[in-house]
Amino acid sequence: MFVAYPALCINAAISYHVILTLWGSLSTRLTSGKVKEFLNWVVLVAPLSLVVVASTSRILAVTSGYSAPLHVYSALPSDAQGYLCLAKEWYRFPSSYFLPNGMRIKFVKSAFDGLLPGEFPETGDPWSWPGTWVIPSGMNDENKGDPSKYVLINPPEALYKRTNAVVGVFGIMRLYGRILL
């Protein structure tokens, strides 16, 4: 769909230009004086202000409607250490960039049995670039699950699922007896 957006923008610009051109030829025949100036200003500004209002309302709607994962994970303390374990709702997690420095994402075996995201290699050397061009281990092109991506939780009391309406949706867990959220 992203390919259509440039065409949509150019079509909107051309349409706006055509409307202004048609209005310019019509306004000289229909009106004159202060009324003409006012109507020219309205025809020029009204579509632009409508676009600004619609764009701003869409930005606010998307921000307020889809920011729940950001609010959930912002409750983590800034000095948290360890693992944040995700279950079958792992795909709702926005990014590891929102985690404190000492935390890593791990996955708990759940109903989802497909391929999970891997961890990119890290080095302490600022001049080496292991980054995203290195394929993490266990990746495949058939969406088959990799057992090495899961962590095992031996004692049952070490796994705790929050059940309130917001957090329960995301399957946030605790690991090794420490509540992370």
The answer, as to whether pTM is greater than 0.85, is no
Tokens 């610009």 correspond to: 13
Tokens found for residue 78: 């800034």
Contacts of 176 (CB under 8 A, 6+ apart): 82, 83, 158
Domain ranges (residues) in the chain: 4-65, 68-181
For tokens 């929050």, what's the residue?
162
Whole-angstrom Cα distance, residue 114 to residue 150? 12
pLDDT for 112-154, tens place per residue?
A: 888 888 877 776 666 766 666 777 778 888 888 888 888 876 5
Low-confidence stretches of the chain (pLDDT < 50) are: 155-181
Q: Which residues have CB under 8 Å from 40's CB, separation 6+?
A: 23, 24, 27
Q: Please give the pLDDT value at position 154.
A: 57
